[in-house]
Amino acid sequence: MKDGLVIKQADTDTTTKSYTFRGLEGLVKEDGAKYELLGVDKAYKEVLRIPLKVLPILDVPVYITGTNDYKGHFGGAITKVRLLKNNQVLKQADTLGADYSFKEMRSLIQDDGSKYDMVGVDKNYQEVIRIPLERRSILTVADYTVGDRELTGNFQDNICFVRLFKDGKAVKHADIAADKYTLKGLENIIEKDGSKYEVVGLDAGYKDVVRIDLKVNALQVSLTPNLYTLGTMENRGVFDGPVVRVRLFKNDVVVKQADVDVLAKTYVLKGLGDIVQKDGSKYELVGVDPFFKEIIRVDFRIAN
């Protein structure tokens, strides 16, 4: 019965006390309707009524971004479950009974605009059903640019703490306020150095809940001096990025600080006549950020 109406009668075997419904694939659906099995006597009078639990032929839970283990259920003619990326098989699930599972999902599901589907196939590897994989984030992680002091984001569900990891080791603990986190003092921690950085959400027992790769962008900065002629008093140039000071170094020692126009992104070094000599010394220009940290160093070019 469906919502109180008879939709199918079973074939019965009174000897074995068994029944069989055939052709249900077009009748029973996961549509919110109420399905029941009704037992009647010879006079078609109701004897027993039992709710029929309808399970999906392929259960595809929401994937929580940054988690590794993923599990679901399957039934019907399905014998294998596969994960597809842009219509290409990416991975086949491990199966046990009516359960399937994927491991290392973090390495499989990327935030790259791709389409991911879960597909159930039969014993002949023919597709039975295809369901889009829905994804949900419980820890937001923005891109980080080298030199930034802070990284902020939101978290939810059972996350209680947030930490920054570098090559598998915790290097910073975030400040927590309600559902927001802030990692501070990162300018001396994160570099574009080939290390693997991750932002990790932990539960109340300090166990990993979710682990998100941190995308590190190189600092966009430049410092371009004009060619300097020996004996002249000034040298001018331009810069870009978070440079607020420009300094002249001679053999790794500061010998002059430039006047800087941060709006026009230009600098002027004055009084160079007695400082810059053709004496075999190494001259360099260094750009410094608002926190007095060196962010760029270039050769100071001297005309022959």
Q: Which residues constitute the domain of residue 26? A: 11-51
- The per-residue pLDDT for range 217-228, each reduced to its tens digit, is 988 999 999 999
User: Rounded to a whole number, what is the distance in angstroms from the first to the last CA of the chain?
Assistant: 97
Residue where one domain finishes, among candidates 217, 241, 269: 217
- Number of domains within the chain: 4
Q: Model-level pTM?
A: 0.68
- The per-residue pLDDT for range 160-214, each reduced to its tens digit, is 999 999 999 999 999 999 999 999 999 889 998 899 999 999 999 999 999 999 9
- CATH at residue 81: 2.60.40.10
Do residues 68 and 31 both lie within one domain? no
Is 258 contained in some domain?
yes
Is 172 contained in some domain?
yes
Cα–Cα distance list, 139 to 66, 122, 161, 183, 212 (Å): 8, 37, 11, 13, 8
Is 304 contained in some domain?
no
Is 1 contained in some domain?
no
Token pair, residue 93, equals: 């699930």
31/232 Cα distance (integer angstroms): 84
Residue where one domain finishes, among candidates 136, 168, 198: 136
Query: Does the structure show a pLDDT above 80 at 31?
Result: no
- The per-residue pLDDT for range 32-63, each reduced to its tens digit, is 789 899 999 989 899 999 998 877 789 999 99
Q: What is the mean pLDDT of the chain?
A: 93
Is 252 contained in some domain?
yes
What is the reported pLDDT for 88? 96
Do residues 226 and 295 both lie within one domain? yes
